[in-house]
Chain A
Amino acid sequence: MPDESPSRGFWYWLRVAAVGRRPKRTLLRLAVLMVAAVVVFKFALLPIRVVGLSMEPTFHDHAINFINRLAYVRGQPRRGDVVGIRFSTNLDAAIHVMLLKRVVGLPGETISFAGGYLCINGDPQDEPYLKLRSDWNEPGKSLGPNEYYFVGDNRSMPPGQHEHGVAFRSQIVGRVLFKGNQ
């Protein structure tokens, strides 16, 4: 009598759908995926949710994005980069809350605002990403060798209500991954 393969019933196909034909291989793939996810999202890409209006209209309130922590491993922040900045200068603290701002001043420069325009070493700058502007006037701040100047894209409110200013290079967590409405 010829051999007959056993009937493949409902439970067999349910098991195949759940864990595949080779459960051990599926388990191994799952373990590799989990380790990869932990490594990527802990050390490389930090998921963030934007809260607030200071980066409108480039980034909307409640928008989801990622901070690329490896963006400046080989290289320095450039003017125009949108970056995540840790609140504290204490690098031992965890990072659950960050500022999301744009780099507008580089080390060694003097940054000021005149009539709502950003001035670098006294020269007014054209900022194509800036859609919401009001009449900001702020005296010059000179940046040290490891200092950058950060400001949001929504400058429709008085400067006292908009978090902006100088932070150290070490406070920059990384660069935003998806560039928003620029």
Chain B
Amino acid sequence: MKLIVRLILLAALGALALCSWDFFFPTPKKVIEKHLVKLARLASFSSTDGNFKRLADTERIGSLLAPNIHVVLDVPGGRSQTFDNRAEVLQAVMAARSSVKDLQAQFTDLAINLSPDTQSAVALLTVKAKIGGEPDLLVELLKFSFKNTNDDWLITGLETVKPLR
């Protein structure tokens, strides 16, 4: 019985050590995944959010973006939109927040590919967005480009991808 208890304790300690290592020294893929989860959370908003919260969230979105980010969005039924730097993107985010009542965005089916030199990465994911007042769910395939800048992974590019060519 003592041996079993010791084995269980050892296994629990091992699991704790692994989790701690993961927490304090996350892999680049984990960091990128965390950034994307944070981006989806910050991109979501509701009509009950105050202006201060909206502004603060927009600022936090800005901290995830590289200054020279390049964005190309091509939504079905709408025209293609291009943004060439962080300021333009944040301006568009603020404009979207004032024109739409609420938005709930969820990123799913994420796949991250790290470059061989581990200094850049590409993330492909599916975004599901529920826009307040609209009956349909908006679903798009998005491609994010990341670059490791001073040990921080910033988004340098974003484009919509057609699932069917």
Contacts and interface: CB of A to CB of B under 8 A. Distances in A.
A150 B165 CA distance: 10
A165 interface: yes
B90 to A, nearest CB: 27
Contact of B126 (A92, A97, A150): A97
Contacts of B18: none
A66 interface: no
Interface in B119-156: 124-126, 128, 136-137, 139, 141
B76 A87 contact: no
Given A87-B109, A88-B111, A96 B137 contact: no
A96 B137 CA distance: 14
A180 interface: no
B164 A52 contact: no
Contacts of A161: 76-77
Interface string B66-109: 00000000001100000000000000000000000000000011
Interface in A152-171: 160-161, 163-167
A167 B124 contact: no
B162 interface: yes
Contacts of A96: 108-109, 126
Contact of B163 (A51, A52, A167): A167
Contacts of B13: none
A85 interface: yes
- By size class, the interface of chain A is 20 to 34
B137 A85 contact: no
Nearest to A101: B164
Contact of A87 (B77, B126, B136, B165): B126
- What size tier do the contact residues of chain B reach? 20 to 34
A93 B136 CA distance: 24
B27 to A, nearest CB: 15
A168 B5 CA distance: 52
Nearest to A167: B164
A83 interface: no
B137 A51 contact: yes
B75 to A, nearest CB: 10
A18 interface: no
Interface string A96-123: 1101010000000000000000000000
A52 B128 CA distance: 13
Contacts of A87: 109, 126, 141, 163
Contacts of B76: 160-161, 163
A52 B77 CA distance: 14
A95 interface: yes
B78 to A, nearest CB: 10
A99 B109 contact: no
B110 interface: yes
Contacts of B124: 88, 90, 93
A94 interface: yes
